[in-house]
Chains A and B, each alone.
Chain A
C-alpha cells in the first residue's frame, strides 16, 4: 500500500502513514491527542484542523460553515492521499485537565502515616543476604546456595524462576556474594536479585480511568509517594464514553488491540515520565496495582468486553488471576506482580473497591455513603457490618459530554455562573481566566441552580421566562445564551438549551435515585448517613450547596460531605504498601452486595420522582424550603 509523509504544524512532527488513513488516526500515531468526543464519527466537531498543503479527501462531518470557509476541516473526516502538511490549532488539542492540577482531598493525602488497619507491609519486600562463597568442598549450586541461605538466615522459603536464574551466577559473583533479594510476600516468589546497597524497590499505583489516567510511584521501603503524574487516556481517540470504545473493540478489525495498545501507551508514557523524574530504573519497580472499571480492565488486558455490554452483563472475570508486568505489557520489572482490583459487579468495578478501601468505610461503625459521580455514578452504602453498592447510568453530562457546549474541566471552561435577577447581567468564572470556550460539570450545576433560582426555568426544567432577552427559541424549544459569539473563544455562542437542561436533570435524577434506592433497599432514611464521601476528579470541584439546590446530592448539613479526591488511586497506593489492604480489597469485592437497579421498579420510581428541581418530594430538601421562606420574609 502507498505510504505518505505527514507533517504536523506547529509541532513539526513527521510520520509515515498508509494512504486513506484519517488525520485523526495519524495524529494519534504521532502522539498528538486531539479532542474527539465522538470517537471519530464526525459528529462532535471538535477535531478541527487545517490542511496547509497536500492531497486529502474530505468525507463530510459536522463543522460550522463559517469555519469551513476559513479552510478548516475535521481531522476524523480528512483522509490522507498524498504527502501533506497539516496545522493543528491549539484549541483542538486536549489541554491540561483540572483533575491533575491539584487534589484537594480533605481525607489524609499523605500515606506516610498509614491507618492502623493497614500497617506498612508492602506487597514486595527486600532482604539483604551474605552468602558463603562456594569452594571445592562446599560446592552447592548457586540456586541452592541462595535459597538455603534465604531460609536459614531469614526463615523464608522462596522460589526463583528461569528469568532470574539466567543471570544468577554472574550477579552473585559480581556482587561478591552480598545481595539484596526482593520477593513478593504471601507467595514468596523472588522478583529481583541485586548487589547489596544498589537496590531500591518501588511500587506503581495506577488509576485507569475512562477519561484520565493517573499513576504514582511509591518507595516500598518507607511508604513515601515519590512522584505522581496524570494524563488523558489515549483511548479517547476511540470515543469519550465507554460504550463507543466497547463497540470499537468488538466491531472493528484489531479494534481490541488498538484499545489495549492505547491504554498501554498511556500508562507506559506515565511510567517513563515518573521514572525519569525521580531517576528510577524500570527494574526497580517491582509491583503494580491497577484500579479501573471493569471495561477498562478488560480492554487493558486484551479481553473482549463484548458480553459486558449485553444483557445479562457478564464480565470475563471479577477477581483477576495473578499476572506479571511482562504479560500485562507494563514497562517496569517484567516479573513485577500486577494486582488488579477485583470488581463487585460489571458496573461496580475495581476503582470503586479501591475507593472503598481508601475511605475505610468497611472499618467504620457509622453509616457512610461513598459516591463516585461520573458517567456511571457508582455508589456504596454501609458500615463495618455490611455494604451495598449500585451503579446508576447518570450519563456523561457532568463531564461535559452530550451537552451543546459542554466540555471537560480544563482551561477555558466556565465553572461558575452568576446571574443578577434585576439587571440580567451574567458573571462567569472561567478556568484559567480569559474568554470561555464551553461549560464544564461544576459550571453546569451552578448554571442550573441559578437559572432555577432566577425563575428562568421552572422546576421541571422548562423555560418559563421566555421574554428574558437571553432566552431565545431554537429547533427543540429554547436556549439561554451564556456568552455571545463575539465574546467566546470559539467564535460561537455558548448556550444551554432545553435539551441540555433535560439531560442534566436526568443525570442528577439518576444519582439521587441511586442513593434513595440503596437507602430504601436497606430501609434507612437519609439522616442515618453519617458521612457522604465524594470521590472522583469531579468531586474536587463540586459546589455542595449548588449540588443540593438542584437535587443532585441529598440535603444534609455541609459538614457531612467529605471530598476523597482520587480515591481509586489512593486505594491502589494503600494496597501496594499494605498487604492487609489488598487482602481486604479481595474480601470486599466478594462481600459487597450488589443492587441491580434495572430489575424491579424501585429505581424507576425514584428516578421519575427525582426529575424535578430539586425533587418531587420537596420535603426531602428542607433547607431549600426554609431558604425560600426566609427570602420572602426579607423581601417583605
Chain B
C-alpha cells in the first residue's frame, strides 16, 4: 500500500535579498549574490524552495588576534586586506567577503575614518564578489565610520552592519541614502529581533534589504539557544510573519574560535587531540548546526572548515523531494 506523504505547505516565504551590484546596476561587482527565498524548513526540498546558503570569509583591516594555526592559512596576506580577500575568493572559493573594520576601534589601532574607507575601496577593487562590511563595535565611531563607508561605496549595495535596537537610525539613513543593505542585530531574543525589523522597516528601508543577525553562540556555548531561536524565525517566516521573513546571517568564525576547545594547545590538553584539526572541526560543526537551523550566510574563518561546510552544503542541496 502506498504511503501517504504529508507535506507542510507554508503560507509565507523568506524574503529574497540581493547583495552587491554589477556595473549595470550602479556598482562594480562581477556578479550579485541572492540569499533567501525559501518556502520550506532548511533542506526540506520535498516541501518547497530551499535556497543555497552562502559562505563568506572574514578579512580584517588589521592583523587579527587569531590562533597561530588559523593565521597560518593567510600567511603573507594578513597585512594586506586586498590580497587577503583575493586569496579567500580565488583560492578558498568564498562566495562573499566579510570585511571587519576592527582597526577603527578607539581602544585598538584607532585608525581614521579615511584609512578605513581606503581599505573598503581596496577590497572592492581586489575582488569581484559582494562585500559585507561591519564596524568595530564602538557605537559612536561606527556611526561615523559606516556613514562614510556607505557614501564612499555608493551604489555597491554592500551589506552593512550592525544596526542594533538602540542605534539603528544612522545606519538605516546611510543605507537609504546610498543604496546599501544592512544587518539587523539583536541579542538572542526573537522579540527584539522582530521589533528591530519593524523599526527599520518603518524608516522606509524595504524588507528585501535587511538580513537578521540573531547573535549565536558557538558549539558548546549556548548554540542550542541560537538554534531554537532561528527555528522560530523560520517557522514565523513560513507562517507569513513578514517581520521575521528575512535571511539570517551567523557569525560562525567569531563564536567558534572564541571557544577554548577550538584553540587550546594539544600540549596542555593531550586527550583533546590535535589542535589544528580540532579548531577546524569546531568551526565546521558550529556552521553545520546553524545551517540546519536555517542560516543563509555563514561568516567563517578557516579555509578547511569552509571546504568541509561547502561539501556538506553540496550534499544537502541535492534534491530530496519525492
> Is A464 an interface residue, CB under 8 A from the partner?
yes
Choose from A459, A605, A608, A609 the contact partner of B202 (Cβ within 8 Å): A459
Q: How many A-B residue pairs have CB under 8 A?
A: 30
Within A443-470, which residues are at the interface with B (CB < 8 Å)?
Answer: 458-460, 462, 464
> Is B304 an interface residue, CB under 8 A from the partner?
no
Within B164-217, which residues are at the interface with A (CB < 8 Å)?
Answer: 165-166, 169, 189, 191-192, 194-195, 198-199, 202
| Stretch binding the partner chain, chosen from A278-286, A546-554, A611-619 | A611-619
Interface size class of B (residues with CB under 8 A): 10 to 19
Q: Given A458-B202, A459-B202, A608-B189, A616 and B195 touching (CB < 8 A)?
A: yes
CB atoms of A616 and B198 under 8 A apart: yes
Q: Given A460-B165, A464-B169, A618 and B198 touching (CB < 8 A)?
A: yes
Choose from A462, A464, A616 the contact partner of B191 (Cβ within 8 Å): A616
| Complex CA–CA separation, A611 to B189 (angstroms) | 12
Describe B's contact surface by its main secondary structure: helix
User: Using Cβ atoms and an 8 Å threshold, which residues of chain A touch B166?
Assistant: 460, 462
| Complex CA–CA separation, A16 to B189 (angstroms) | 60
CB atoms of A611 and B191 under 8 A apart: yes
CB atoms of A460 and B169 under 8 A apart: no
| Complex CA–CA separation, A618 to B189 (angstroms) | 17
User: Using Cβ atoms and an 8 Å threshold, which residues of chain B touch A609?
Assistant: 191
| Complex CA–CA separation, A394 to B260 (angstroms) | 42
Tell me the count of chain A residues lying within 8 A, CB to CB, of chain B.
13
Shortest CB-to-CB span from B163 to chain A, Å, is 13
| Complex CA–CA separation, A126 to B199 (angstroms) | 68
Interface string of A602-627 (1 = CB under 8 A from B): 00010011011000111000000000
CB atoms of B194 and A616 under 8 A apart: yes
User: Using Cβ atoms and an 8 Å threshold, which residues of chain B touch A464?
Assistant: 169
Chain B's closest residue to A477 (CB) is: B166
| Complex CA–CA separation, A231 to B111 (angstroms) | 65
User: Using Cβ atoms and an 8 Å threshold, which residues of chain A touch B191?
Assistant: 605, 608-609, 611-612, 616
Shortest CB-to-CB span from B214 to chain A, Å, is 14
| Complex CA–CA separation, A605 to B198 (angstroms) | 18
| Complex CA–CA separation, A616 to B195 (angstroms) | 6
| Complex CA–CA separation, A608 to B195 (angstroms) | 10
User: Using Cβ atoms and an 8 Å threshold, which residues of chain A touch B165?
Assistant: 460
CB atoms of B195 and A612 under 8 A apart: yes
User: Using Cβ atoms and an 8 Å threshold, which residues of chain A touch B194?
Assistant: 616-617
Chain B's closest residue to A606 (CB) is: B191
Shortest CB-to-CB span from A601 to chain B, Å, is 12
Choose from B169, B189, B199 the contact partner of A459 (Cβ within 8 Å): B199
User: Using Cβ atoms and an 8 Å threshold, which residues of chain B touch A605?
Assistant: 191
| Complex CA–CA separation, A69 to B199 (angstroms) | 46
| Complex CA–CA separation, A464 to B200 (angstroms) | 12
B residues near A, CB below 8 A?
Answer: 165-166, 169, 189, 191-192, 194-195, 198-199, 202, 243
A residues near B, CB below 8 A?
Answer: 458-460, 462, 464, 605, 608-609, 611-612, 616-618
Known pairs A458-B199, A612-B191, A618-B243 / 17 extra A-B pairs, C-beta < 8 Å? A458-B202, A459-B195, A459-B198, A459-B202, A460-B165, A460-B195, A462-B169, A464-B169, A605-B191, A608-B192, A611-B195, A612-B195, A616-B191, A616-B194, A616-B195, A616-B198, A617-B194
Can you list 12 A-B contacts with CB-CB less than 8 angstroms, sorted by A residue number?
A459-B198, A459-B199, A460-B195, A462-B169, A608-B189, A608-B191, A609-B191, A612-B191, A616-B191, A616-B198, A617-B194, A618-B243
